[in-house]
Structure 1
């Protein structure tokens, strides 16, 4: 193909932004169709998008149209896997907004559908285009830091006021979003935590506070501790209720310490690796000589969403390697599911995750969700992927 025709399903905040970018900012791409069940969003599309863009008010008509080559899914969280599976079944390439879904059981089915389809599958992990995190990943994966001993990410600058949550009844509910700060604000950090280090936890112990700072039913404050197969440990702290917040990612390894903060990378580099120093040093008190190195990072915040869209387009047209393969979306979601499950059971959670147990616990939360009660008169609806 000479040009990739895109269709977007879900023209909310992110979907409308992607639509405008596809119209004139992505080389080799053309927006040819959109779909939304909201008349107001279809009116917006009519007013702001080219007349040639086809508009659909049902997913069925959208998928049946064959008006596009690739589908970008920007619908509510629960709908991501089911819509992606429908897109694959109808012969489309797929790129899905974050998070990959709400629970790994559905996301695993989505990944299997992608594999069977033979189509390209990507996820909107736009932070992977940031020069800050690509440089960090290079430092770790090239061996500069040595074996990782500890990771610590404090990401508390996700401040959200009560008025933010009051703006939509679906916000911060188990039935509407499927989670709070972990699922709405933190998917990028959970992905980067795994992607930059190359490590997945072997077990998780998390303490989630539900409605601690805001009048919501989901988690708004989390402190989690993880252990890795190589003996390393990690801590992840996040909340929406602190101001001013902090965004500091620290990694300690055999060769020193790397800190990512204020859009800078600082490497406290040991002249002699710590294990070697410890084995050879006989002077009692003392420690390895350390150099403070300011790591150069160029390119600002990177191309972000447009970078992912351009990369996906180039992958289809020219075979370029994907920055964010869709199948990798399950990794960060596994970590957040494990954190939720640990809090719900007040216990350690081992990975691989018990996906059936998580699903059952989630259904219990959904049954008592205020959003489900408000929208269904108290009746519990099926949110396994079709709501």
Structure 2
């Protein structure tokens, strides 16, 4: 096997973009587009016109059984990610799934179990892990150069979306169609990076606005407080209703603090550990000497989606280590579910002993008791599988 034949399910914003990278631009060596699939006749017609050499299917199982593919890239609405992934494993395929891994941890854990039972590779499209800036921040934390972590604050409010965005598709911004709002749509990458850099928090207490700024039923404003095993705290703030917004990550440790803003890393670096300084200092208003250092990192954003597909292909063909193993998709989702759970129950969410069934039942109640009526919209078919 010197090439991987991949099938793409879902030809909306993301799926069609992936097919162009693979087939038209040939940006992923040794990855070929074996087939595509979409339930929409309009999108299948787009594929026939744009990708005339590529077989087109209207249902996933037919494509799985065709013998034309070795792997599948799933780029459909959130609820269907685990279902299609599990079926892919059952048909002996390697699986690359778009973010988020799913809507609730109960279904994602089932997907992870199916992946573990198979002998196939499982990867998730956490393309922000290819960004050299976040890779460098993670290295600074994991290497201990920042010292013991005390606090992390991420204000990520530059996800502005107007009402017409929420109205642009019948599935958008609903519990039944999307499974949530900004946490499940715009923020999965950031929640993944948060835990990828810092590790998983133990518990979370959150405060959410549901339809606070828009005519929607899901969350559009979030403030979450987290606690970690080592005693560190975290604050995560996000919204789709602020313009201009902010994207600022600040991580404080014994050796100073790291600030990431506008794709620049600034390390306010203590010459000695604050904890060590505290033991020996005798000046009432003394503080460690700190240097303001700009940390070098490539600011081009990395290879993003193409980088993940290259890594996935090389993992299949050459045994390369996956940058974003699919099983890790549950971690950021667990934080997301925990934030919802805390807001719904007005209590702490224990992420180490999370009530997966309880969360699922609460989500079903939200769907069953919904009185939200979607305004008349012109369905943008090309956007159906878009996740941003």
TM-score (norm 1): 0.94
For 1:265, the equivalent position in structure 2 comes to 265
Worse overlay, 347-356 or 157-166: 347-356
Kept in 2: contact 1:221–1:238 (CA 8 A): yes
For 2:249, the equivalent position in structure 1 comes to 249
Q: Which runs of 5+ in 1 are unaligned?
A: 376-387
The question of 1:225 aligning with 2:225 is answered yes
Q: Distance in 2 between matches of 1:227 and 1:342?
A: 14
Local SS of the residue matching 1:190: helix
Q: Which runs of 5+ in 2 are unaligned?
A: 377-388
User: Within 5 A, what are the aligned runs for 1:68-217?
Assistant: 68-197=69-198, 199-217=199-217
Q: CA deviation at 1:178?
A: 0.2
Q: Distance in 2 between matches of 1:146 and 1:66?
A: 52
Q: Distance in 1 between matches of 2:19 and 2:212?
A: 37
For 2:381, the equivalent position in structure 1 comes to none
For 2:48, the equivalent position in structure 1 comes to 46
Q: Deviations over 1:164-220 (max 9, x none)?
A: 1111121000000000000000000000000012x2111110001100111101000
Kept in 2: contact 1:175–1:372 (CA 8 A): no
Q: CA deviation at 1:62?
A: 1.4
Q: Distance in 2 between matches of 1:25 and 1:91?
A: 26
Q: Distance in 2 between matches of 1:348 and 1:360?
A: 17
Q: CA deviation at 1:373?
A: 9.1
Local SS of the residue matching 1:223: strand
1:374/1:109 Cα in 2 relative to 1: closer, same or farther (>3 Å)? Answer: farther
Kept in 1: contact 2:204–2:342 (CA 8 A): yes
Q: Deviations over 1:231-289 (max 9, x none)?
A: 00000000000010000000000110000001100000001100000011112111000
1:221/1:136 Cα in 2 relative to 1: closer, same or farther (>3 Å)? Answer: same
Kept in 2: contact 1:207–1:223 (CA 8 A): yes
Q: Distance in 2 between matches of 1:211 and 1:257?
A: 35
Q: Deviations over 1:84-130 (max 9, x none)?
A: 00000000000000000000010000001000001000000000000
Q: CA RMSD in A?
A: 1.4
Kept in 1: contact 2:37–2:59 (CA 8 A): yes
Kept in 2: contact 1:173–1:369 (CA 8 A): no
Q: Distance in 1 between matches of 2:163 and 2:375?
A: 19
Number of aligned positions between the proteins: 373
Q: Distance in 2 between matches of 1:373 and 1:19?
A: 31
For 1:384, the equivalent position in structure 2 comes to none
For 1:318, the equivalent position in structure 2 comes to 318
Local SS of the residue matching 1:181: coil
The question of 1:63 aligning with 2:54 is answered no
Q: Distance in 2 between matches of 1:209 and 1:299?
A: 34
Q: Distance in 2 between matches of 1:345 and 1:170?
A: 25
Kept in 2: contact 1:169–1:371 (CA 8 A): no
Kept in 1: contact 2:167–2:374 (CA 8 A): no
Kept in 2: contact 1:173–1:217 (CA 8 A): yes
